[in-house]
């Protein structure tokens, strides 16, 4: 779909004369992050995953300081704690944390690190355009997850394509491809080349806000004071991080 879009728009991709190591690092970190997140949720629950996502902000800032020599202002570092607290408020609102599983805890810790590493790697590969990074990411995920699916099915190719017979599955995949993969990655790649890792991490916390809003409006899910407090913390944190960085 992305290739068709680029061909229609006449967008030219140019990979020549650029260092491929940063782009390769980005392509490796992306599927690894999904792997740790998925198994972290499988062995624990979405609440702990939300907390790990919030803590990935700290990991991103620390890794940015180490690898990119990008040091946030003191106020930015302090204000980044607000979106983190907001995500924790939202993910724990009305939920029981459940029992910790050592494997799940390890996976979520590694997800926290790799998620922060993804933001740093994206910034490091900013020599490549947004569409170039998005295309590389989609190809890497296609190769990794197709191989994983075939291995899981014992190499049975027919079973791999069987879900495509169901229209609900096809529409869901198209929605994920267009919105969650192509659009989301392109916008994130465009932003990473223009703002700092600290700002990028603060904006990433709005995922929990959007999810909560969609759940209330579209799925008519209940909302409580803890979730409202979390939303307020995220909005305030993102605003203050960006204002203090000017």
Quick: pLDDT tens for 157-167: 887 788 888 99
If you ran DSSP here, which 8-state letter would residue 72 be given? P
Say what the pTM is. Answer: 0.76
- Residue 133's pLDDT band (cuts 50, 70, 90): very high
pLDDT at position 2 is: 83
- Residue 190's pLDDT band (cuts 50, 70, 90): confident
pLDDT at position 149 is: 86
Of 99 and 139, the structure prediction assigns the larger pLDDT to: 139
Instruction: Give the mean model confidence (pLDDT) for residues 118-140.
Output: 91
The Cα–Cα gap between 197 and 195 comes to 7
Instruction: Categorise residue 74: left if φ over 0, alpha if ψ from -120 to 50, beta otherwise.
Output: alpha
Of 46 and 130, the structure prediction assigns the larger pLDDT to: 130
- Residue 243's pLDDT band (cuts 50, 70, 90): confident
Instruction: Categorise residue 94: left if φ over 0, alpha if ψ from -120 to 50, beta otherwise.
Output: left
Mark 229-238 as b/e (b = at least 16 C-beta within 10 Å): ebbebbbebb
- Residue 27's pLDDT band (cuts 50, 70, 90): very high
Joined tokens for residue 128? 């490549």
Highest mean pLDDT among 106-110, 177-181, 214-218: 106-110
The Cα–Cα gap between 121 and 31 comes to 13
């Amino acid at each position: 779909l992305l290739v068709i879009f680029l061909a229609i728009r006449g967008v030219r991709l140019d990979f020549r004369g650029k260092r491929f190591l940063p782009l390769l690092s980005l392509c490796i970190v992306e599927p690894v992050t999904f792997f740790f997140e998925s198994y972290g949720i499988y062995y624990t629950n979405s609440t702990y995953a939300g907390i790990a996502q919030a803590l990935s902000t700290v990991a991103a800032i620390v890794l940015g300081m180490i690898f990119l020599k990008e040091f946030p202002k003191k106020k930015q570092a302090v204000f980044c704690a607000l979106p983190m607290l907001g995500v924790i408020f939202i993910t724990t609102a009305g939920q029981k944390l459940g029992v910790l599983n050592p494997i799940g805890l390890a996976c979520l810790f590694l997800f926290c690190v790799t998620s922060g590493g993804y933001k740093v790697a994206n910034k490091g590969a900013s020599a490549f355009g947004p569409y170039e990074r998005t295309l590389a990411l989609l190809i890497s995920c296609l190769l990794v997850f197709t191989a994983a699916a075939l291995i899981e099915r014992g190499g049975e190719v027919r079973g791999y394509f069987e879900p495509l017979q169901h229209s609900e599955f096809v529409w869901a995949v198209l929605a994920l491809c267009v919105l969650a993969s192509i659009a989301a990655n392109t916008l994130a790649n465009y932003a990473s080349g223009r703002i700092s890792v600290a700002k990028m991490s603060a904006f990433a916390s709005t995922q929990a806000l959007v999810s909560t809003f969609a759940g209330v409006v579209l799925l008519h899910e209940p909302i409580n004071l803890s979730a409202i407090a979390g939303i307020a913390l995220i909005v305030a944190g993102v605003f203050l991080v960006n204002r203090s960085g000017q």
